[in-house]
Chain A
Amino acid sequence: MSEQSGDPRPIPRNSRVCRCLFGPVDSEQLRRDCDALMASCAQEARERWNFDFVTETPLEGNFIWERVGGLGLPKICQGPRDDLGGGKRPSASSALLQATAQEDHVDLSLSCTILPRSPEQPEGSPGVPGTSQGQKRRQTSMTDFYHSKRRLIFSKRKP
């Protein structure tokens, strides 16, 4: 067994598992798709939390964001974190990390609380596109939905 640089499980020489399944990968397309998907993730997060994570600005919505200082956050929360995972994260997809890296993160720390609106009247929450009070009750309805689906799957499977 060839031990290479202390790896307890080296890839065997000439391993037949090392193979490319679907032909050459277009790096350019990978990059474009990656950027587009990261942007859509950022947009989803922005709508979910009414907060712009790129510019670190609170937006109108269900949550009230406020600045908190002096939390004594450990160093690891303050600086750029591109040393993880054995490689440097590239800039294009790490807008979230980079945008905050330059500043003093402790001062920029935010806490959020749910805006105290009457939860009995979900339609009444004004002017918040994409986020409604309904989201807070999501858990219950999700579970209900899944239970009914389970029964559906079961009955379908019967021969």
Chain B
Amino acid sequence: MELLCCEVDPVRRAVRDSNLLGDDRVLQNLLTIEERYLPPCSYFKCVQKDIQPYMRRMVATWMLEVCEEQKCEEEVFSLAMNYLDRFLAGVPTPKTHLQLLGAVCMFLASKLKETIPLTAEKLCIYTDNSVKPQELLEWELVVLGKLKWNLAAVTPHDFIEHILRKLPQPNDKLPLIRKHAQTFIALCATDFKFAMYPPSMIATGSVGAAICGLQQDEDVSSLTGDALVELLAKVTNTDVDCLKACQEQIEVVLLNSLQQCREEPGEAAKAEEDVDQASTPTDVREIDL
């Protein structure tokens, strides 16, 4: 028996289950149920009076920063945004409640996905103590009730491994492609435009965008261009033209967020730092679209 000595990560993760990933029924089931968890309407038009799209972006950016600083699992942020959107699609909410709501959604998503979940106290500190742990716990019940306790939503992250397995990649490039795709998925979750897209399409578009971006510097894929898009589209039953459009939109979102970084140097340093942290790729800003 060989012994391995390494720094102790307090979080234990299960290995990828090749039985689940190799069985096509899993992917098909995900594709079948994914749209049950989409917010039913564009709530800025029909539900919310006080909350504006830029406020969603603000709270999303803050949530992403918390998740990155706390090194949460990748899917926690996307899942929390799914809860937030589904809640806001049903309940008119004043903007002063929005950060509390974001904290509650992270609280729930973290409990569902992590071995060491975020605590209520910690989340309240992240709101600069504008929210009390007591209030967070009360609102946890409210959000649970309004989501009908239906928390196991499908997120784009659920599709990543299934998609990657179907691609003829050199194996040593997979971790890099995965990291870039995860970053794109997080970026998409901060942008309301993607809130009502099927998660499988966001995942497919993100993998496509990741490979396209990386391919410019090094050979990460034997398939490129239209051939790649066609293969990706087939994996998740997405229309080829839709997928192309989605991938373009994802690339635009990256471009915008990089531009924002350049325009506001103070904020920028922070944003780039945050993107660098946790498991996100370090060279994402070098992608030249």
Residues on A close to B: CB < 8 A?
Answer: 8-9, 11-12, 15-27, 29-31, 33-34, 37-38, 41, 44-45, 85-90, 93-94, 142-143, 146-147, 149-150, 153-154, 157-159
Contacts and interface: CB of A to CB of B under 8 A. Distances in A.
Contact of B130 (A15, A24, A147): A24
B146 to A, nearest CB: 7
Interface string B119-157: 111100111101111110111111001100000000000
A15 B98 CA distance: 21
Contacts of A16: 270
Contacts of A158: 241-242, 245
Contacts of B119: 86
A72 B32 CA distance: 39
Interface in B85-117: 91, 94-100, 116
B75 to A, nearest CB: 17
Interface of B: 10, 32, 35-36, 38, 55, 58-59, 62, 65-66, 69-71, 91, 94-100, 116, 119-122, 125-128, 130-135, 137-142, 145-146, 196-198, 239, 241-242, 245-246, 270
Contacts, number: 125
Nearest to A94: B141
Contacts of A143: 32, 36
A34 B242 contact: no
B36 A142 contact: yes
Nearest to A24: B130
Contacts of A26: 96
A30 B125 contact: no
Contact of A90 (B94, B99, B134, B239): B134
B98 A21 contact: yes
A21 B61 CA distance: 11
B59 A146 contact: no
24 contacts: A17-B69, A17-B126, A18-B126, A18-B127, A19-B127, A19-B128, A20-B130, A21-B59, A21-B127, A24-B96, A30-B138, A33-B94, A37-B91, A38-B142, A41-B141, A85-B120, A85-B140, A87-B120, A89-B138, A94-B141, A146-B36, A146-B38, A147-B35, A157-B246
Contacts of A24: 96, 130
Contacts of B270: 16
B255 to A, nearest CB: 17
B141 A22 contact: no
Nearest to B11: A8
